[in-house]
Structure formats: C-alpha cells, structure tokens
Amino acid sequence: MGDAATILALDGVEKTYGTEKNPVPVLRGISLTVQAGEYVAIVGPSGSGKSTLLNILGCLDRPSAGSYHLAGDDVATMDDRSLSRIRNTRIGFIFQSFHLVSHLTVLENVEMPLFYARTPKRERRAKAADLLEKVGLSHRLKHVPSELSGGECQRTAIARALTTAPAMLLADEPTGNLDSVTTKAILGLLDELHQSGHTIVMITHDMDIARSAQRRVALRDGQVESDSGMPRA
C-alpha cells in the first residue's frame, strides 16, 4: 500500500457497468500511488475513464475490483456512512461549477463543512475568515455568490475545500468555466497551495492545464497510458 507518506493508493482498480451478460468495462486495472505533497493531473480524452476514476477517488462510487486506500484508510469496501465521513473530512472538493449555496454569504459558504462537523460558531467563523484572507477574499465576506466574479467563486470554493484540513484536494476541471486570465490566477493559487504542502489531484481533459501540475498521469481506454513522474520510493 505504501509508506506513511502515501496519501492515495490504487491497486488494480476496475469498474464495470452493465449486466453480467453484457458487461461494460470502464476502468481496467488502474494502479496509482500519490505521495503527500504531490500535485498530480489526471488527463485524458472523453471516454478515457476520468469521470469514473474521479467518482472513485472522491468516494462517490466503489470499484468493482481492486483496492483503494486514502491516507491509510481502506475505502474500497466501506459502507455509505463511512464513505460520507471520509468525503467530509479527508477530501477537499473543488468543482468546475463551484457548488456554492446561492443564498449564503461567502463566509457562510466556507463555514459549511465546519458547521456539519459541529465546530463552535466562533471557531468556524475565525477559521473561514482566515482561509478567505489567504485566497484574497477578505473584502468579500458578506457578499453572496451572485455578486462575485467566476474567479472569486472558485477562490471561495477553494477556501471551503481547505476548512477540514483534508488529506487531499480533489479538483474536477477547476478552471473549466473561467476565462484565460482568471484560469491563470486560479492555477497560480493551486500552485501556491502545492508549494505550501497540500496534496492536489486534478482531473482535466486539457493538456495545457495539466502542465501546471508537478506530475501528469494520462488515461486512455480505462488504463494508465503514461505517467510523467512516478513518486519517489
């Protein structure tokens, strides 16, 4: 499974849909290891298996075969309640469409994971405000998402993803809805997070975006086609 610094370890992961008589294999024996502090882009064309792999990495789905360990936890065989706990505490999600709650302020959106973790109000407010300052949004705390630019919405989402100090940031096409200038700024922020020690796994179809990562893993037809930088032993 790897040493204590291993954040993510997939071993022979398969995912098959359809029926026993008409199986539709999507992932075909994916083995992948990500160490703490790595910034990895998983890239591939439509139909390569990226979305299915994303769902498994995010504990939104289970593999049909193989093992998946996240920060030492064997998540491949966990029940729904355990998977929910892992999603809420060990993974910070960054989505293409931001997934902000429209009627909540920026500060309240970032507080949400801590609210569900039953963190005391004063503590969660202070932590959310601190994270928003780090992503350059200390002047937007009381604004709602409709009053923000796309880049500000994504910065809010990144701050929210950091609130529970997750083992891994999982970014799904994080710049897909942004213009080129804002894309560059968000990629710069992700690079800063990587430089400060965060583990980032980014899913993208865009090789130009993937080049911003430290390491690139290319999928094709449900298999790893290439890996630009295997983690150190």
Interval 142-165: pLDDT, tens: 999 999 999 999 999 999 999 999
In a domain, 223, yes or no: yes
In a domain, 129, yes or no: yes
Helices marked H in the chain: 50-57, 80-90, 106-116, 121-134, 150-161, 180-195, 207-210
Domain containing 87: what range? 6-227
**How many structural domains does the chain have?**
1
Q: What value does the mean pLDDT take over residues 158-178? A: 94
In a domain, 232, yes or no: no
In angstroms, the CA 73 to CA 55 distance is 17
In a domain, 31, yes or no: yes
174 in Cβ contact with 154 (< 8 Å)? yes
In a domain, 44, yes or no: yes
Question: What whole-number percentage of the chain has pLDDT above 90?
Answer: 83
Q: How many Cα atoms sit within 13 Å of 133 on the Cβ side?
A: 6
In a domain, 35, yes or no: yes
Residue 1 clears pLDDT 80, i.e. is over it: no
What is the full DSSP assignment across 157-220? HHHHHTTT--SEEEEESTTTTS-HHHHHHHHHHHHHHHHTT--EEEEES-HHHHTTSSEEEEEE
Residue 161 identity (one-letter amino acid): A
Q: What value does the mean pLDDT take over residues 165-182? A: 94
Average pLDDT, the chain: 92
Kindly state the tokens that stand for 147: 């009053």
Q: What is the pTM of this model?
A: 0.91
Residue 233 clears pLDDT 60, i.e. is over it: no
Q: What value does the mean pLDDT take over residues 176-193? A: 95
Read off the pLDDT band of 198 (50, 70, 90).
very high
Kindly state the tokens that stand for 51: 């979305």
In angstroms, the CA 159 to CA 154 distance is 9
- Per-residue pLDDT tens over the stretch 2-60: 455 999 999 999 999 988 889 999 999 999 999 999 999 999 998 999 999 999 999 99
- Per-residue pLDDT tens over the stretch 69-85: 999 899 988 889 999 88
Query: Which CATH number characterizes residue 104's domain?
Result: 3.40.50.300
Q: What value does the mean pLDDT take over residues 114-136? A: 94
In angstroms, the CA 101 to CA 148 distance is 13
In a domain, 66, yes or no: yes
Query: What is the reported pLDDT for 3?
Result: 52
